[in-house]
Amino acid sequence: MHSMSSSTRPRSLSGIQPTAESFHLGNYLGAVRQWVGLQEDHDAFYFIADLHALTVQPDPAQLRARVHRSAAQLLAAGVDPERSALFCQSHVPEHTQLAWVFNCLTGFGEAGRMTQFKDKSAKAGADKASVGLFTYPILQAADILLYNPHHVPVGEDQRQHLELSRNLAQRFNHHYGETFRQPEAYIVKGTAKIADLQDPTAKMSKSASSPNGIVDLLDDPKKAAKKIRSAVTDSGDTIRYDPEGQPGIANLLTLFATVAGTTVDDVVAQFEGQQYGHLKVALADLVADLVSGFGERTRAYLDDPAELDRVLAAGAARAREVAAPVVVDVYDKVGLVRGV
Ligand code: TRP
């Protein structure tokens, strides 16, 4: 029995951009692991946001490869295609169809206040930033609202985009009648923020962190372990959880607890009286194990691209069953005449 067929379980939905060669520990512990957890008791819809990736004009061959790498990594992380619809955003045309309606409901100023747009366009230079980058959060709102999810597991940086989705749901309902549910962000406290290993006051991020500040899940396990052992730590020598005073150690404790599946308090107790180096070496081993298993599983999926395509096609078919009637309903409600 497919547990995802017509059940009354709550829905979860999320997407990840295929913009890197590898997921990093921050994505994995902050978001992807929550995806995996939620599929236990939710009907889950998870997708690779390839249309969002287009907003910064990636190289076509690289984009194509990264879509497959992302799918393989999601499977390696434990997304189970028997239980969750795993698909590629561009395979479900309803995302862009609904996005157009939302473009027409979003104020110019409202879109301009999105902090991620402001950051990204400032970096690109005003003339180089695409209109796609500007409307990015509106496409994201369409991604979400098409599935009426209860929970949207994302990192802290997506809070404002979630808020826009909630506003658009409410605005649409107000103008055209009850249609969309206001989705909740699902951000697990503590695990949501993994910091840069070289600058523990900044978030671990592929765009901002230096190569040594970030552990890629497809890193060689020895290299991953070395990055952990070379993490910047604070002056002092007592292992305690003090994110303000000892952000470096706090980050390593959070990492340890999250990877080992225990609590920070337990980790602090485990290392009582020991030195920073002990914590680093033990964490380096844990991370090397994680990375080694993850890399093996990912490579096995990448060795069978036909199977990956089959999984993505089945996921898209399942997603379209939900998304297509929503677009029909929305087009009716806004006054578009049905084609024959
Ligand atoms: N913007 C998200 C990110 O960069 C990716 C994304 C696209 C997404 N569409 C989504 C996340 C819908 C959740 C729901 O992380």
Mean pLDDT of the region 312-317 = 98
pLDDT at residue 208 above 80? no
Residue of 88, 91, 82, 87 lying closest to 4 (CA atoms):
82
Q: Report residue 148: phi and psi, to 5°.
A: 45, 50
pLDDT at residue 192, as a whole number: 53
| Residue 3 pLDDT | 43
The percent of residues in the chain predicted with pLDDT above 70, rounded, is: 96
Q: Which residues line ligand 1 (CB under 6 A)?
A: 14-17, 49, 52, 140, 143-144, 152, 154, 158
Give CA–CA dist 20/206, Å, rounded.
8
Return the pLDDT at 2: 43
- Asked whether residue 191 carries a pLDDT value surpassing 70, the answer given is no
Please give the CATH superfamily to which domain 11-191+304-334 belongs.
Answer: HUPs (3.40.50.620)
119 Cα–ligand 1 center, Å: 16
- Phi then psi for 285, rounded to 5 degrees? -65, -45
pLDDT score for 227: 97
Q: Give me ligand 1 centre to Cα 48, in Å.
A: 9
Domain 221-298 has what CATH class? mainly alpha
Domain with CATH 3.40.50.620 in the chain: 11-191+304-334
Q: Give the model confidence (pLDDT) of 59-103 as tens digits.
A: 999 999 999 999 999 999 999 999 999 999 999 999 999 999 999
Question: In the prediction, which pLDDT does 7 show?
Answer: 67
- What average pLDDT does range 286-299 have in this prediction? 97
- Banded pLDDT at 1 (limits 50, 70, 90): very low
pLDDT, averaged across the chain? 93
Where along the chain do the CATH 1.10.240.10 domains lie? Answer: 221-298
C-beta separation of 323 from 146 below 8 A? yes
Structure tokens at 3: 């547990």
Strand ranges (DSSP E) for 71-171? Answer: 84-88, 151-153
What is the average per-residue pLDDT within 141-157? 93
pLDDT digits (tens, 9 = 90+) for 15-44: 999 999 999 998 898 889 899 999 999 999
Mutation pick for ligand 1 pocket among 140, 147, 152, 184 (CB with most ligand atoms within 8 Å)? 140
Q: Answer positive or negative: Cα dihedral of 73, 76, 79, 82.
A: positive
Looking at residue 145, what is its pLDDT? 98
Mean pLDDT, range 93-115, rounded to an integer:
97
Contact 197, 213 (CB under 8 A): yes
More confidently predicted of 154 and 301: 301
In this prediction, residues 160-168 reach a mean pLDDT of 97
Residue nearest to atom 13 of ligand 1 (CA): 14
> By alpha-carbon position, which residue is closest to atom 10 of ligand 1?
15
Q: How far apart are CA 143 and CA 152, in angstroms?
A: 11
